[in-house]
């Protein structure tokens, strides 16, 4: 439920990312002339999780406070003797773990991005298909004024696109190698440190930072914020779907042909919005994880005592949950069913009350804005109390009827004024803008 999709942050994934960092460092050292020819290839060939006892590395990590010392010993024992000098050369434990974090994040962002592309494409299709599907807009959970379902989907689309764009920006500019040695000086390599750092970044396809960032954790906070932003955008979609799929509303439904989808252990009739519920469950946990990582960013001197360690599982969980939310959202939007007839029925249920703003605007030139508001508000109150419609309440009141006549509004004009399709404002233009921005960005990035 919370690990759907292709994001992987298990212990073995961490181990492989650390091994990838060690292997890339050995290759960089060889390229810099600090290791014998073939050392990089030898370490790389050995750096696969199948050759390591992850449980034993974990047990030894409890003795040293992190798993890298045990990993380095195990890796050194497995490589040829002449390649051992290239293992962990110039590095400290944090260099390997932080670089592994960046690798895990890069791989996770690729998987998350793929699901966000799918989700955005499906939202765009819904926006285009339902640009004229009128429904009740709701504020504070009450019917407000008409909107279109296309506009709702367009707002989902822009949220997803914005979140994906920020994630892509971060992946391109802020995922950087960590290589500073014991206290961020690379003193053990003499003057060769910066060259090896540059080669390490090149080997891993990560950015080369201006200097080591052992206790400058802004990159981690920015990564966490971008992930939380994705969860926020997807949570908005899921929350709307849960509300619109309530039995009494029933304007949308999750599409899944498996009869077990949404089932209950006790109630045979239930068809719960499972995908939406799980997106929300993932998204609800993101702010707390972000807060933990932000709190951990204040770190001491050249190496943190505990705050750095607090990041590992927290960030792993945030990556995993964001990946799961993205995967569930792609499935949710791919199969979402829209009931336009039900939307129209719900629009008509209030007897035209959600068109009160439009009627007041039509009356305002004749009687003034505030007076028009008060007249229509009083009529709406009478209509709600009697169960009659807004039109009847207006025409049945002497003062309101006189105001309508003064404004040149007869029954025909009033019928138009309470037609939801006549009061959609710039909905069509806004949908068009959202779609244009989405397709333009897709064309620039080569998406199809």
Active-site residue numbers?
Answer: 264, 303
d(CA 328, CA 20) in angstroms, rounded, equals: 30
Q: How far apart are CA 353 and CA 351, in angstroms?
A: 6
Longest dimension (CA), the chain: 101
Q: Coil, helix or strand for 37?
A: coil
Give the gyration radius of the chain's Cα atoms.
Answer: 30
Q: Characterise 38 by phi-psi region: left (phi > 0), alpha (psi -120 to 50), beta (else).
A: left
Give the Å distances, CA to CA, from 70 to 18, 65, 156: 12, 11, 47
On the CB side of 398, CA atoms within 13 Å amount to: 0
Distance of CA 413 to the CA centre of its chain: 46
Of 305, 307, 276, 311, the residue nearest 290 (C-alpha): 311
Cα separation, 367 vs 113, in Å, equals: 55
Say how far apart CA 423 and CA 357 lie, in whole Å.
9
Residue (of 226, 212, 220, 225) closest to 165 by Cα position: 226
H or E element at residue 429: helix 427-445
- How far apart CA 89 and CA 86 sit, in angstroms, is 5
DSSP string, 174-194: T-B----TTTTS-GGGGGGHH
Q: How far apart are CA 322 and CA 325, in angstroms?
A: 5
What is the Cα–Cα distance from 188 to 190, expressed in whole angstroms?
6
d(CA 316, CA 11) in angstroms, rounded, equals 10
Kindly give, in sequence order, each residue whose CB lies less than 8 Å from that of residue 138, ignoring residues fewer than 6 positions away: 144, 243
The rounded distance, in Å, linking the Cα atoms of 93 and 107 is: 21
- CA 4 and chain centroid, separation: 14
Q: Whole-angstrom Cα distance, residue 327 to residue 122?
A: 13
How far apart, in whole angstroms, are the C-alpha atoms of residue 93 and residue 254?
47
């Amino acid at each position: 439920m919370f690990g759907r999709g292709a994001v992987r942050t298990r212990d073995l994934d961490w181990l492989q990312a650390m091994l990838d960092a060690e292997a890339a460092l050995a290759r960089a050292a060889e390229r810099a002339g600090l290791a014998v020819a073939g050392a990089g290839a030898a370490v790389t060939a050995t750096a696969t999780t199948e050759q390591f006892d992850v449980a034993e590395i974990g047990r030894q990590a409890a003795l040293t406070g992190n798993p890298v010392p045990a990993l380095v010993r195990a890796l050194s024992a497995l490589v040829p003797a002449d390649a051992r000098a290239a293992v962990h050369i110039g590095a400290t434990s944090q260099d390997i773990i932080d670089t592994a974090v960046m690798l895990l994040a890069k791989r996770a962002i690729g998987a998350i991005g793929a699901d966000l592309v799918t989700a955005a494409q499906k939202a765009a299709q819904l926006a285009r298909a339902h640009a004229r599907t009128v429904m009740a807009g709701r504020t504070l959970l009450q019917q407000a004024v008409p909107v279109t379902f296309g506009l709702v989907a367009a707002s989902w689309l822009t949220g997803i696109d914005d979140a994906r764009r920020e994630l892509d920006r971060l992946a391109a500019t802020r995922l950087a190698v960590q290589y500073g040695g014991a206290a961020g000086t690379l003193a053990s390599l003499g003057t060769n440190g910066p060259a090896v750092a540059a080669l390490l970044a090149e080997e891993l396809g990560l950015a080369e930072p201006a200097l080591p960032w052992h206790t400058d954790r802004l990159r981690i906070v920015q990564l966490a914020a971008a992930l939380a932003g994705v969860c926020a955008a997807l949570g908005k979609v899921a929350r709307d779907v849960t509300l619109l799929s309530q039995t009494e509303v029933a304007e949308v439904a999750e599409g899944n042909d498996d009869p077990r989808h949404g089932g209950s252990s006790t109630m045979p009739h239930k068809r719960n919005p499972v995908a939406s519920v799980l997106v929300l469950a993932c998204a609800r946990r993101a702010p707390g994880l972000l807060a933990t990582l932000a709190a951990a960013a204040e770190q001491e001197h050249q190496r943190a005592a505990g705050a750095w360690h607090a990041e590992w599982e927290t960030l792993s969980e945030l990556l995993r949950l964001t990946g799961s939310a993205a995967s569930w959202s792609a499935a949710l939007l791919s199969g979402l069913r829209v009931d336009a007839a039900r939307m129209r029925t719900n629009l008509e249920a209030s007897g035209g009350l959600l068109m009160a703003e439009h009627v007041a605007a039509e009356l305002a030139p004749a009687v003034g804005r505030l007076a028009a508001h008060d007249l229509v508000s009083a009529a709406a109150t009478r209509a709600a109390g009697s169960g009659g419609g807004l039109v009847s309440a207006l025409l049945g009141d002497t003062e309101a009827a006189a105001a309508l006549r003064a404004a040149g509004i007869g029954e025909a004009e009033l019928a138009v004024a309470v037609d939801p399709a006549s009061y959609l404002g710039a909905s069509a233009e806004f949908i068009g803008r959202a779609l244009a921005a989405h397709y333009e960005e897709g064309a620039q990035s080569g998406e199809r």
